[in-house]
Structure 1
Amino acid sequence: MQTIPSRPARAAAKAPTGITGFDQMTGGGLPPGRTTLLAGGPGSGKSIFAMQFLVHGATACDEPGIFVAFEEAPARLVANLAGFGWPLETLQPHKLFFLDAQPAPDLVQSGSFDLAGMLAALGAQAAAMGARRIVFDALDILLALLPDPAARRREVYRLHAWLLEHGLTGLITAKQGGDEASQHPLDFMQFMVDCAVVLNHKVTLGVSQRNLRVQKFRGSSFDENESPFVIGSGGFDVAVARSLGQVDSTVTLERITSGVERLDTMLGGGYYRGASVLVTGFPGTAKTTLSGAFAEAACERGDRTLFVSFDSDGSEVIRNLGSVGIRLQRFVESGVLRMVSARTITGSAETLLVRIKALAREQSARCLVIDPISTLSKSGNELTAHGVAERLIDWTKAAGITMVCTSLLDEMSGEVNGGTPLQVSTLADTWLHLNYLVQAGERNRGMSIIKSRGTAHSNQVRELILSDEGVTLADIYTAGGEVLMGTLRWEKESAERVASEVADVAGELNLVRLEAEEAVLEVRAKSLQTELVAKQVEKTLLTRTRASREGELARGRERMRELRGADAVIPPAKPEGK
């Protein structure tokens, strides 16, 4: 067969599909001006992928496209795809052209045939509308009519050469069994095309699981691992993990309140804006209550918030939180808060992730509450739940959304052993743990901060107190080296108050007694002082009287001698020897 010289490829590096995750895996999309094979089993989404590729080209890249349908009538195809919100009617026929190439059901093959005629008509149509993309949907239906593998191979090469000649970005869809290793009539196409993509759809423990793998991509690097995907309201949504070298999310030093003032103090100012907060605990430890307090505080400062509950209906959550002073109904009515009950959502963890992301975008949410995130690990999702939780955290960080999620722990497992059912504790920025402390025949709630990245935080275990006035944390209280909570703490504090009062009374009595004794001593001291003064006066008088009497006697004797006159004054005798 004569080969047709191919046109040089266009300068564009890739032809974007509009499927964000897939374009990230392939570094931009499909190879432009070349052929891609999209293989998958029934219900894997081949036609949806192909149509999304054409619609994105026509609406976002100014690249009109052609859809060649070998299995389903175009009118029926358009009707089936109407639910994705694509403007299929308005794009026809200038931006999007459908060619019905279904073999007639009663077709009786007589002799050989080829694709030359159909390709000639397609060439004229592509030139008329300036088409740059084309899809051959379910080509294996037509090739199955050919008599032998050699004829099929010849027509596939004819098609491949025609695509290269016209410089069209071609996408061929074909069926593939569940076992990738099994032989298929079109297996040789995987070696011929420049890019091959495989879609898988299986059911694990009753849960639908879909994944996608890029099998080959000539001349380009790509993510070789399987990536889960879902078919949502906007078409394909491929979940991919953060790649090496990806630009980090924008970080901020802004703090926002947790809704509990004393918890903010323990955290050094509250949560960081855009952080992921994990609240773990056993059933009944008030995980939802802490989440509700955060949601109320977010709404009060005007942050639009999405609250996703997997355990209860939204109205029940609002009623229950009202019993502890958390009033959310007013914010629901104003539209700042949206309560979503996810109890009825079924499907894979990827489906839940896509629904949550879509709801958050609709709400323009700046804060997100998921209660509990451990629901993602329910039956059938054990192998994928961790990856989903990881992508959820990455997405909220990239979007600047502050997320608070709870995780239910098994009460029979005892204390936390450094992990959670989804092992998201290593990914969360702040980890709060709630548990029970059983003392004196009662359970009391305790809260501790296991970690809080980028900020100093308290290492104390605080009692979480719920009342109709709100949520708060009690100061740490220890007695004999043991932390006391609840009535045991109340009894101990009451006993200490009584003992303190008794000590105060005893102290006052001692003070009165000492004052009385002091008064007695003061009186005695005054009495002694008076007695001392009296004695001193008496002594002075006695001395004075004695001196006066002696003087008077001396004067009397002198006078007596003078009156007698006969008595001479006898001079004093001289000492001997002089």
Structure 2
Amino acid sequence: MTGGAAIERTPTGISGFDEVAIGGLPAGRSTLLTGTTGSGKTLFALEFLARGIMRFGEPGVFVAFDETPEDIRRNARSLGFDIARWEADGKWMFVDASADTGEETLTVGKYDLGALMARVERAVRQIGAKRVSLDSLGALFIRFRDRELIRYALHQLARVLGSLEVTSVLTTEREEEYGRVSRYGVEEFVLDNVVITRNVLRNERRRRTIEVVKFRGATHRTGEWLFTIDPKDGLVIIPLAFLAPGAPASQERVSTGNLELDAMVGGGIFRDAIVLLTGPLGAGKTLSALQFADAAFRAGERCLFHVFDETREQLSRNAAGWGLDLDVMEASGLLRVSAAYPEVASVEDHFLRISSNIMDFAPARLVIDGLSALERRATPRMLLDFMIALGGVVRRHGITTLFTSEPTGMGTPIFTAPMTEIASLTDVAILLHYTERAAAVQRAIAVLQTRGSAHDHAIRQVSIDGAGMHIGGPCPGAFRVPAETAELPPGQRWPLDPDRATAEEWTDHPDET
């Protein structure tokens, strides 16, 4: 960076990466992309060129060491990239170095890159390329027995590419996810920019992430960013959406679908609110979610209803028991139901499916019924990434959203560790619970939080019949929410004081959230 001027960026066009990189890769420089097997290196290099052509009209050269051009063309077709057509149009050119790397005899001494770089330079000038991808340097460096020779070769590559004024991506392998950055330990010191992709196996689950380690003289976002590979969209960085600016906060209130609950939350929830409804098995979470969707139907609004751990048929049968006809609601075009068990896909792929439905259906409301079921599939960090990403999408579009979740036990109503963090991202927190009174199991409900609004602090009785859920009067002493086990963020406590015994005291208890 000279004279205080910011380094120019080349947008990659890869979904989410340019937000992480704050504009893209530093223009006219070489970026080392390093990662283990299956971490998405080749796809990044390929998509960097493809998006350059499709979105920015910038031709590119692909230098192939590991795969033949025909293999790359075939693989790219599955993503909708017609490389053969781009070649015919003079927008894409291969430099096939795969045959050169097939020799069994290793070169001893200095290996002259002159012939290879002459081919690259000729290809760049022939089509006026602005981007170059080299995949993978490991196949080239196997010719060198000495790290200093590898350093020298990299300097040659970077110098020639820099003189061509192209922005380039050079992929290479690493042996460990969190070991040294590159296989030979010198690559990251030669090049100005370093990006790492990871494919970590933890608790029998794979988690792909991408990290910008350095952009010399240029800013970038730090840390690992979750990503997935979508058959249609290629690499998708998550949480992308929460980086985007949101819509202005809404002052409009909408119904939850239950008039008594509307009264408890201060006259309905704000149009852009995210609601977390937590309760044990059978407490009324899915019923509340269906009433929420019915409120959208009655208001002439679209609602996307995604359910985990139930099929579409089961949900329809259950809805019919409360007088709700999902078939009629779907036939009207105002409801779309999506059902999938957590185990059928990764958490990232569930996010893509839901966000794709949001983009396609444009709902005013969203229901995610059974969010906690994803804990079977995700680590706490993955679940939080899912929530942050999806929260970003719904906030950007002002979608009224309801998440339901189930605590792990039937005892004290506390959130699991990931759900505690997720609760801090929501606007309204509602707790359903069971209590034993007069030798019978009864239901109760409490509103723990409504940001920006007064709310009822009483724990109230709940009954469910064929007409739905009914909320009654206060039931003092129904259950305890011990502050020492609730695990709320620092400085916050539950608004339910277990020492208060009368209905008046419960109702008058001040909001301390």
TM-score, normalised relative to structure 2: 0.84
Per the alignment, residue 75 of structure 2 pairs with: 80
Map 1:139-288 → 2, pairs under 5 A: 139-182=137-180, 186-233=184-231, 234-240=233-239, 247=245, 249-288=247-286
Say if 2:325 is the partner of 1:324: no
Residue 440 of structure 1, CA deviation:
2.7
Superposed CA offset, 1:396-435 (max 9, x none): 2122222100010133332347987353222211111111
Per the alignment, residue 86 of structure 2 pairs with: 91
Residue type of the partner of 2:268? G
Superposed CA offset, 1:360-382 (max 9, x none): 22322332111111123225512
Residue 49 of structure 1, CA deviation:
1.0
SS in 2 for 1:450: strand
Per the alignment, residue 467 of structure 1 pairs with: 465
Superposed CA offset, 1:455-483 (max 9, x none): 22222333333332333323x167xx778
Quote the Cα distance in structure 2 between the aligned partners of 1:184 and 1:222: 21
453-462 or 316-325, which deviates more:
453-462
Per the alignment, residue 25 of structure 1 pairs with: 20
Residue type of the partner of 1:314? R
Go from structure 1 to structure 2 and tell me whether the alpha carbon gap of 1:48 and 1:416 turns closer, same or farther (over 3 Å shift).
same
* C-alpha contact 2:31 2:168 (8 A) present in aligned 1: yes
More helix by share: 1
Q: Which residues of structure 1 form unaligned runs of 5+?
A: 1-9, 484-578
Quote the Cα distance in structure 1 between the aligned partners of 2:247 and 2:274: 13
103-112 or 186-195, which deviates more:
103-112
* C-alpha contact 2:63 2:135 (8 A) present in aligned 1: yes
Per the alignment, residue 41 of structure 1 pairs with: 36
* C-alpha contact 2:196 2:213 (8 A) present in aligned 1: yes
* C-alpha contact 2:95 2:123 (8 A) present in aligned 1: no
Per the alignment, residue 66 of structure 2 pairs with: 71
Go from structure 1 to structure 2 and tell me whether the alpha carbon gap of 1:447 and 1:88 turns closer, same or farther (over 3 Å shift).
farther
* C-alpha contact 1:197 1:215 (8 A) present in aligned 2: yes
1:311 alignment partner, one of 288, 309, 323:
309
* C-alpha contact 1:377 1:421 (8 A) present in aligned 2: no
Go from structure 1 to structure 2 and tell me whether the alpha carbon gap of 1:314 and 1:420 turns closer, same or farther (over 3 Å shift).
same
* C-alpha contact 1:407 1:420 (8 A) present in aligned 2: no
2:57 alignment partner, one of 44, 49, 62:
62
Residue type of the partner of 1:161? R
Go from structure 1 to structure 2 and tell me whether the alpha carbon gap of 1:294 and 1:103 turns closer, same or farther (over 3 Å shift).
same
2:352 alignment partner, one of 348, 351, 354:
354
Quote the Cα distance in structure 1 between the aligned partners of 2:418 and 2:222: 29
SS in 1 for 2:282: coil
Per the alignment, residue 100 of structure 1 pairs with: 96
Quote the Cα distance in structure 1 between the aligned partners of 2:83 and 2:327: 41
Superposed CA offset, 1:198-254 (max 9, x none): 11112111111111111110111222212221112311122248989x755421112
TM-score, normalised relative to structure 1: 0.75
Go from structure 1 to structure 2 and tell me whether the alpha carbon gap of 1:17 and 1:101 turns closer, same or farther (over 3 Å shift).
same
Per the alignment, residue 517 of structure 1 pairs with: none
1:128 alignment partner, one of 119, 126, 129:
126
Superposed CA offset, 1:58-88 (max 9, x none): 1111211111111011222222233323343
Quote the Cα distance in structure 2 between the aligned partners of 1:178 and 1:419: 29
* C-alpha contact 1:386 1:422 (8 A) present in aligned 2: no
SS in 1 for 2:457: coil
Per the alignment, residue 493 of structure 1 pairs with: none
* C-alpha contact 1:324 1:471 (8 A) present in aligned 2: no
Go from structure 1 to structure 2 and tell me whether the alpha carbon gap of 1:125 and 1:106 turns closer, same or farther (over 3 Å shift).
closer
**RMSD of aligned Cα (Å):** 2.7
274-283 or 413-422, which deviates more:
413-422
Go from structure 1 to structure 2 and tell me whether the alpha carbon gap of 1:88 and 1:337 turns closer, same or farther (over 3 Å shift).
farther
Per the alignment, residue 369 of structure 1 pairs with: 367
* C-alpha contact 1:205 1:380 (8 A) present in aligned 2: no
86-95 or 173-182, which deviates more:
86-95
Count residues with an aligned counterpart.
470
* C-alpha contact 2:95 2:119 (8 A) present in aligned 1: no
SS in 1 for 2:158: helix
Identity of counterpart residues, as a percentage?
29
